[in-house]
């Protein structure tokens, strides 16, 4: 089955702790994205990567970090510097062509204890 997987589905973080959210795709897509979703708000872009070993900040990158060492993987680390990390995190991918669809994973819900 082709698609995007995210793990874990639920994640709990203590104050001051860094956590890493996993995103894997087997669609052979070049571009990958991380969005954050808060209740009653639209999705906001955190980071994106158009190609392996390259990534750029989105609208709300402060307190987050990413890596793109493999085409199929784009993990997101939520650091202790992120003041309000409780949210639903969605990973997406696309083939980089501007005319084509973007596909989303099932999401990870992060809660700060």
Residues lying near other proteins in the complex (CB under 8 A): 4, 6, 31, 33, 35, 40-43, 45, 48, 50, 56, 58, 88, 90, 92, 94, 96, 98-107, 109
2 or 42: CB nearest other proteins: 42
85 or 105: CB nearest other proteins: 105
43 or 112: CB nearest other proteins: 43
3-class DSSP state of 32 = strand
The answer to whether the CB of 71 falls within 8 A of the CB of 52 is yes
On the 0-12 / 13-18 / 19+ scale of CB atoms within 10 A, 98 is: exposed
């Amino acid at each position: 089955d082709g698609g995007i997987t995210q793990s874990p589905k639920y994640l709990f973080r203590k104050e001051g702790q860094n956590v890493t959210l996993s995103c894997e795709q087997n669609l052979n897509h070049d571009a990958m994205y991380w969005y954050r979703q808060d209740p009653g708000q639209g999705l906001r872009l955190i980071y994106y990567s158009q190609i392996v070993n390259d990534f750029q900040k989105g609208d709300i990158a402060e307190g987050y970090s990413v890596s793109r060492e493999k085409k199929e993987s784009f993990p997101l680390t939520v650091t202790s510097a992120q003041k309000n990390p409780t949210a639903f995190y969605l990973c997406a991918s696309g083939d980089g062509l501007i005319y084509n669809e973007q596909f989303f994973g099932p999401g990870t819900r992060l809660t700060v204890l």
